[in-house]
Amino acid sequence: MIPARLRLGVNIDHVATIRNARGGDHPDPVRAAQIVAAVGGDGITAHLREDRRHIRDEDIARIQAATDLPLNFEMAAADEMVEFALRHKPHAACIVPERREERTTEGGLDAAGQHNRLAPIVSRLSDAGIRVSLFIAPEIRQLEAAMRLGAPVVEFHTGEYAHAEGEARAVELKRIADMAALAVVNGIEPHAGHGLTYDNVQPVAAIPQLAELNIGHYLIGEAIFTGLEHAVRRMRDLMDDAR
Ligand code: PXP
């Protein structure tokens, strides 16, 4: 099914990054979540990393209590995170690869190579009513692995697209578009995210099969200059204009 509206999930991790720089409680990611809700964002995304460098355990429950927006909980395929998700029951859990030394989530999850590790995690989360999404590269091998795992959602990593230029960017865009179409044919809802900005969002937003974009770092960065309300509204307008 082709979704009528492309949802915007706002990743508020980096509000917590700034808060943690001083060890206090300002700026509060909960306030960011409330602003996103007030300006028509469709969801909140937050990644509880193993090293707790930005979002902390208690932020998750506070975000859930403070807004009615669906929470997309990004998590590594680690036992600690599975237990955490089962306790907090977010609307969705997006399984991402995570290495302690990386600055951000640098590539997609190797769903193909890690089938046996991921299969029980996908089942346990799904059985608890959590919508599981796998953050994968837009590659057929990974999409087929997501199908075998029975994931209802995949999020395509748009980092390669965001970093590429010229012809190479067109190639990356086509990979995302082709995989989004194939996902839908196979009953999987495709999302996309990573590295999206005002300048590069529109070609991705124009891919008709995509149901959701998750955008964080750029929006929080722009919020410093223009405010979070304005940044979310502008991104929303660009997405709507692209469809
Ligand atoms: N989607 C997923 C699964 C992510 O892990 C991230 C953050 O790395 C994002 C979306 C948002 O990416 P960015 O902060 O570059 O917009």
Q: What angle do CA 215, 66, 91 make, to 5 degrees?
A: 60
CATH topology of domain 7-242: TIM Barrel (3.20.20)
**Residue with token string 């590790």:** 117
73 CB less than 6 Å from ligand 1?
no
User: How far away, in angstroms, is 12 Cα from ligand 1 center?
Assistant: 10
47 CB less than 6 Å from ligand 1?
yes
> Is 172 known to be catalytic?
no
Mutation probe of ligand 1 site: the residue of 7, 8, 11 with most atoms within 8 A of C-beta: 11
pLDDT over 70 (residue 108): yes
Q: Residue 112 gets which letter from DSSP?
A: T
| pTM > 0.85 | yes
Report which secondary-structure segment, H or E, holds 161: helix 159-163
157 CB less than 6 Å from ligand 1?
no
Specify the ligand 1 atom closest to the Cα of 220. Answer: 14
Structure confidence at residue 125 as a pLDDT band (50, 70, 90): very high
Distance CA 190, CA 209 (A): 7
> Is 157 known to be catalytic?
no
104 CB less than 6 Å from ligand 1?
yes
Q: What are the tens digits of pLDDT across the range 48-67?
A: 999 999 999 999 999 999 99
How high is the pLDDT of residue 100? Answer: 58
Distance CA 195, CA 201 (A): 9
Could you tell me if 160 and 180 are in contact, meaning their C-beta atoms sit under 8 angstroms apart? Answer: no
User: How far away, in angstroms, is 96 Cα from ligand 1 center?
Assistant: 10
Residues of the chain with pLDDT > 70, as a percent, come to 97
Q: What are the tens digits of pLDDT across the range 165-203?
A: 999 999 999 999 999 999 999 999 999 999 999 999 999
218 CB less than 6 Å from ligand 1?
yes
155 CB less than 6 Å from ligand 1?
yes
List the beta bridge partners of residue 47: 74
Q: What's the mean pLDDT in 213-221?
A: 98
User: How far away, in angstroms, is 3 Cα from ligand 1 center?
Assistant: 21
How high is the pLDDT of residue 105? Answer: 64
Amino acid at 57: D
How high is the pLDDT of residue 1? Answer: 66
